[in-house]
Copies of this chain bind each other. A is one copy, B any other.
C-alpha cells in the first residue's frame, strides 16, 4: 500500500502505518524487510548503542549543527543574511537532513515526545527555507551566490536533496505526515522538473539522490521519481560531469554503472550509487543491472576490502585503491563508507537472499560502525585506521577537527558527514536484523530482540531472541507465537563459523557450516531453538596479494576483529618501563596458541628492541640476510608474554595510544 504524491501526502493520517518502518521497502524481492517496529531490539550490544545514540549522540549532533551554524543557514535563507553569514561547506545542509532522518527513526523507535518536538522545530526551519518552486539549498542561487546547478561536480545540490528526501521518507514511514514529508516531495518534484528531460546528461558529482528517489517512489508510487532515478543512474558514465583533478573515476563517471567491473573512486559515492542501482534494478526487474552491481561488490569484497569490512583504502580522494592495495597504516576506511556498505549489502540481501551480504553487514557493523563512536557517544572516527603508529593528540572539545588529524576520536569535523550518518544508522538498526518470505522468518543478525512477522496467509509469527552475542556464541530463539502448519525459521551461519551447532526443541543437535541454515522442523509456540556459534578466538591470514600484511596475522573472535593497543602492554606486569612501550615493539610468538581467560583473548608475544640506523635498509652479498625480526631480545627460549587483545571497535577509548590489527609474526 502506497500513497500517491500526485495527490500529495494528505492521504497520510498522523501515525498511520503505510509501510514497514524500514529504509528499504522494495515492492517485491526475494526477502521482505521487517521494520523497526517489527524488530524491537531489547538490549545487548546494539541495544546499548541505540540508547547511547538517543540519549547522547543525537543531542550532541543537534548541538553541533547549531554551534557550526549549519542549522542557522536555513534561518538566514529565510530572514536574509546569505551569503555573508553562511557557514560550512557546500554540503552542510545535508548534515541537518541526516540528523533529521536519525531523529525520525529514533522517534519511530522510542516515541520520544520531546525528541519529536525538537524534530518539528528543526524541520520547520528547513521547510521555511524552501523556495516556491521546491528548490532548497543555502549555498546557491541567491544574489552573491553561484547560480543553482552551476557546479554539479562539487556543489552537492542533488546530494543534499537526496538526504532531504530520505529524511522525509523516514519521517513518513515513522508515522509522520508532516512538514518535512511535504518539503521532501516538493524538492523531488522540483528535481524532476529540472532534470527530467531525457536528453539532459546532467547529474550530481555525489550520488545519493538515486536511492532516495526510488524510495520516494516506493512511498508515493509517483512514477516520475522512479523515472528520474533511472535517468540519473543511466546517465552516469556518459561524460555529464566536467573534468576534475581526481579523474572522472572519482565520481563514477568514467564508465556506466552497467559496464563497471568493480567499485572504484570515492568509496561513499560508489556505494551510494550502487545502492540506487540495486533499488532501480529490483523495481525494474532488471537482472542485468542487479548482476552488474552485485558482481562489482563481490570483486570489491574479494580484493578491495579491509578485514574489518572497511572500504576505501586511500586518503587521497577518499577512494578505493588498486586491487589488494590495503595498507593497514593510514587506512582510510571512512565511517560513511561503512554505513554505505551496510546500505548496499542489505539491499542485495533482500534482493538475492545471499547470506554473503548479511555477513558483510555484520562485519561492518561490529568493526567499522561500532568503532566510529566513542564509548561515551560524544566523539567519532571519520577514518578507521587498522594501525595507529604514533599516539594521537586529544582533539579540542569545542572545535571541529580535521577528519584525519589524530588517532583519537573527535567531537565534530569540518566535514562532518559521519556523525549524523551514524545517528540515522543506529536509530534504524532494527531494519537489518530479520526478514520474511513466503516460507517464514529469516534472522540475519543476532541481537536481543522481539521479532514479529506476518505470513502471506496473514498469520502471526513472534520470536524472542536472547543472546550475549558477540561476546558469547549462544543464540536462543524462543517462539512466542508460531503460525499454524509448517513454516521455516532460517538462521545465518556466518562465514567465519566453521562449525556451528543447532539444538532443536527435542534436544537433538545438528552441525552446520556457513550459509543459511533452514531449521528442519517447524517450531511450535513455546518452543526454542538454540544456535551455538563458535566464538573462540582464531588467527586470520590475508590473501598473499595483500602484500602490506605479509608476515602478519590478525586475531578474530566471532564477528569481532581484535586489536592490540599499547595501553594493554602493561598487562600482568609490574614493569613500569612497559608503560612507554608501543605496539611496534612486539611480535607474535607463533610457537604458542591463543589463550582466552575470563573472556579476554591473550596473544603470545615477544618484545623486541629497535635501534635506528643511519640508513634503515641493510644489504648482504651471498645468502639471503637474516629475517627482519632478528632484533636482540631478552631470551629466545623464555616464555612469551601474554598480552590481551581488545575488540577493534573499542580502541582509542583510554587516551592516546598506538594500536594495530595486523601483528607481525616472529
- Whether the pair A553, B624 counts as a contact (CB closer than 8 A) is yes
Residues from chain B with a CB closer than 8 A to the CB of A550 are: 550-552, 628-629, 664
Given contacts A622-B593, A624-B590, contact A616 B543 (CB under 8 A): yes
Question: Which of A316, A495, A541 has the most CB atoms of chain B within a 10 A radius of its CB?
Answer: A541
Distance of A226 from chain B, by nearest CB (Å): 32
A547 vs B585: C-alpha distance when bound (angstroms): 12
Binary interface profile of A, 582-613, with partner B (CB < 8 Å = 1, else 0)?
Answer: 00100010100100000000000000101011
By a CB distance below 8 angstroms, the chain B residues around A612 are 302-303
A534-B628 contact in complex given A315-B316, A389-B325, C-beta closer than 8 Å: no
Would you call the interface of chain A mostly helix, strand, loop, or mixed?
loop
Query: What residues on B are CB-neighbors of A627 within 8 Å?
Result: 541
A659 within 8 A of B: no
The answer to whether A628 touches B541, judged by C-beta atoms less than 8 angstroms apart, is yes
1/0 per position for A295-328, CB-CB distance to B under 8 A?
A: 0001001110101000000111000011111011
**In the complex where A302-B613, A552-B550, A613-B302 touch, is A624 in contact with B539 (Cβ < 8 A)?**
yes
Question: Contact partner of A584 among B245, B545, B616, CB < 8 A?
Answer: B545
CB-CB contacts of A124-159 with B at 8 A, as 1s and 0s?
Answer: 000000000000000000000000000000000000
Q: Report A514 CB to chain B, min CB distance, Å.
A: 10
When the two chains form their complex, are residues A542 and B628 in contact, meaning their CB atoms are under 8 A apart? yes
Q: Quick check: is A538 within 8 A (CB to CB) of the other chain? A: yes
Alpha-carbon separation in the docked complex, A316 to B321 (Å): 13
Q: Does A195 contact B (CB under 8 A)?
A: no
Q: Is the CB of A618 within 8 A of B540?
A: yes
Contact B542 A616 (CB under 8 A): yes
For A547, the chain B residues whose CB sits under 8 A away are: 328-329, 387, 548, 552, 662, 664
Identify the closest chain B residue to A497 (Cβ).
B619
Q: Is A536 an interface residue (CB 8 A)?
A: yes
Given A325-B330, A552-B550, A544 and B301 contact (CB-CB distance below 8 Å): no
Determine the distance from Cα of A327 to Cα of B313 in the docked complex, in whole angstroms.
12
Q: Any chain B CB within 8 A of the CB of A85?
A: no
Complex Cα spacing A227 to B547, Å: 50
Contact A617 B389 (CB under 8 A): no
Q: Is A7's beta carbon under 8 Å from chain B?
A: no
On whether the beta carbons of B390 and A544 are closer than 8 Å, the reply is no
Q: Is the CB of A614 within 8 A of B389?
A: no
A665 CB within 8 Å of chain B: yes
A307→B615 CA distance, assembly (Å)? 9
Residue pair A538, B621 in contact (C-beta under 8 Å):
yes
| Pick from B302, B405, B664: contact of A247, CB under 8 Å | B405
Measured between C-beta atoms, what is the minimum distance from A68 to chain B in Å? 15
Q: Contact check: which of B322, B584, B618, B622 meets A389 at CB < 8 Å? A: B322
The answer, yes or no, to whether A572 is at the interface (CB within 8 Å) is no
A540-B628 contact given A323-B390, A325-B330, CB 8 Å threshold: no
* A402 close to chain B: CB less than 8 A: yes
Kindly state the separation between the CA atoms of A548 and B331 in the bound complex, as whole angstroms: 12
With A245-B402, A315-B315, A330-B325 already in contact, the answer to whether A546 and B619 are too (CB < 8 A) is: no
* Smallest CB separation, A312 vs chain B (Å): 13
CA distance A535 to B225 in the complex (A): 70
Closest 8 pairs (CB-CB, A-B):
A551-B551, A543-B616, A550-B551, A315-B316, A538-B619, A316-B316, A322-B389, A544-B628
8 residue pairs A–B, Cβ–Cβ below 8 Å: A301-B614, A301-B615, A327-B327, A536-B621, A538-B621, A540-B617, A542-B616, A543-B613
